[in-house]
Amino acid sequence: MAPPVLVIAQKDLRQRIRDRSALVLGVVAPLGIAALMSVAFRGAETIHLTLAVVDLDHGATATGLVGALHSPALRDLVTVVDEPSVGSASTAVHGGHAGAALVIPAGFSQSVTGSRPLALTELTNVNDAIAAQITQAIAQSFVAQVNADRLTVATAAAAGQPPATAAAALVNAHLALPVTTVQRAFGAHQLKIISYYGPAMALFFLLFTISFTSRSFFVDRDQGMIERMLTAPLHPQSVLVGKVLSAFVFGIVSITVIAAVTSFVFGADWGSPAAAGLLSLVMVLAVTATTALVIGVARTQRQAEGISSFVVFGLALLGGNFVFVAATPALMQRLALLTPNGWALRGYTDLATTGGGLSVVVGPVAAILLYTVVVAAVAAVLAPRALSR
């Protein structure tokens, strides 16, 4: 005969599986929501800009600019389409067929050597701020050399050189911009949206275990179930441990199913299975300890519901399960590290982006374990009271 703790855990698990809400919370809801996010953002993970170009000048500088737009360095970022007039380019941007347009005015090439250079005009769509910014940046980079030469002549003139002499010397000097950038790769994988929100949703619904288990403990107690069980020759704590154990098993199964489905169906990257497994295991332990603490602190079923709601949503909001925490202000990012789920999400993110193994999650695992030990210690003191009340 199995030890009483296991029997109690088994009974609780069976009960939860029969009540279909467990299936919804543990598997269907997190998978459904992660899938929704994955499909919704399918196009948003890649930035690619269609840029309409209107060349009304056809001079040397204008041709240079159009050539630069077609350069291999920009090919992955920008597709350039030629438009015959400002009107047609404007229509393309307005209708969303182009993210932005760049207009080179007639007489542009001639004007850049004079004192009143003509301006390039960028046509933008208010709904595509990123396209506007990229177009602006590309155009600015191109006119930078022209402007640098103009500034060079002006500065030399301000220092006392006759402008004509300075201009002539500049032509002979063939200057190129003296400060440039060199891109260096550092071997990071792109963080896909599903690789963040897959774990984030799994953890969010894992946190719900706290509500369910603590509530069910008080329902059992109010029905006199626990008193009846205690008439049997078993240690009072077995009842509590059994209940918490069922939450632990449920959590492990739920997170494993979600990891498997999001990996194979939606292409989420959970990283090395051993490291992700360890991280998930300690996270489920942390949730289990928190459940025990809520049972210890609450006095009634309603209190358990209230406290657990506060804990679940507090942890989920602070930890970054709803908002992508890296994009939030620095204070939010620090607050996230006060929660075990915040640490776990950081661990999953690091696994997905470094491709590393166990060494990557040492920090997060240690932090979550510390949380678990502290919470479990407090729970061990408080929880037995819940049995005797």
Partner 1 sequence: MTVFALMGVSIRRVTRDRVSLFFIVVLPVLVILIVGASVRGFSTIRVGVVDTGSGPAGGQLTAMMAATPGIELHRYGTTADLEQAVRRSSVQAGLVLPDGMSAAVQGGSTVELGLVAESSNPTQQAAVTAVQSVVARYAGEVQAARFTAGTTSSGFVASLALAHRTAPDVADVRVLSRQAGTTLTTLPQGFSYSAPTMLVLFVFLNALAGSAVVIGNRKLGMYERMLAGPVRSGTIIAGEALGFVAVGLAQALLIVGVGSVLFGVSWGNPLAATLLVGVWALVGAGAGMLAGTLFASPEQATAVGPALGIAFGMLGGCMWPLAIVGPTMRAVGHVTPQAWAVDAWTRLLSQHGTLASIAPQLLALAGFGSVFLALATWRLHRRLS
Per CB under 8 A, contacts with partner 1 among 194-253 are: 205, 208, 212
- 115 lies in the binding site for partner 1 (CB under 8 A): yes
Q: What count of Cα atoms within 13 Å lies in the side-chain half-sphere of residue 356?
A: 14
Which two structure tokens, joined as six digits, stand for 320? Answer: 């970054």
90 binds partner 1 (CB under 8 A): yes
Q: In the bound complex, what is the minimum distance in angstroms from residue 72's beta carbon to partner 1? A: 11
Binding of partner 1 by 362 (CB under 8 A): no
Q: Does the footprint of partner 1 cover residue 265 (CB under 8 A)? A: no
With binding defined as CB under 8 A, does residue 79 bind partner 1? Answer: no
Q: Does 15 bind partner 1 (CB under 8 A)?
A: no
The sign of the dihedral angle between the CA atoms of 314, 256, 3, 7 is positive
How far is it, in rounded angstroms, from Cα 146 to Cα 181?
A: 18
State the first-to-last Cα distance of the chain, in angstroms, to the nearest integer.
Answer: 30
Which listed range, 149-157, 236-244, 250-258, 365-373, lies at the site for partner 1 (CB under 8 A)? Answer: 149-157
- Residue choice 10, 133, 256, 263 for contact with partner 1 (CB under 8 A): 133
**Residue 82 touches partner 1, criterion: CB under 8 A:** no
Nearer to partner 1, 192 or 285 (CB): 192
Indicate which single residue of 80, 317, 358, 380 sits in contact with partner 1 (rule: CB under 8 A): 317
Q: What is the dihedral of CA 37, 42, 45, 49, to 10 degrees?
A: -140
C-alpha 195/C-alpha 348 separation (Å) is 8
Decide whether 176 or 232 has the Cβ nearer to partner 1: 176
Candidate residues 1, 2, 72, 182; the one interacting with partner 1 per rule CB under 8 A: 182
Residue from 1, 2, 181, 389 in contact with partner 1 (CB under 8 A): 181
Could you tell me if 98 and 92 are in contact, meaning their C-beta atoms sit under 8 angstroms apart? Answer: yes
Burial (CB < 10 A; 0-12, 13-18, 19+), residue 121, is middle
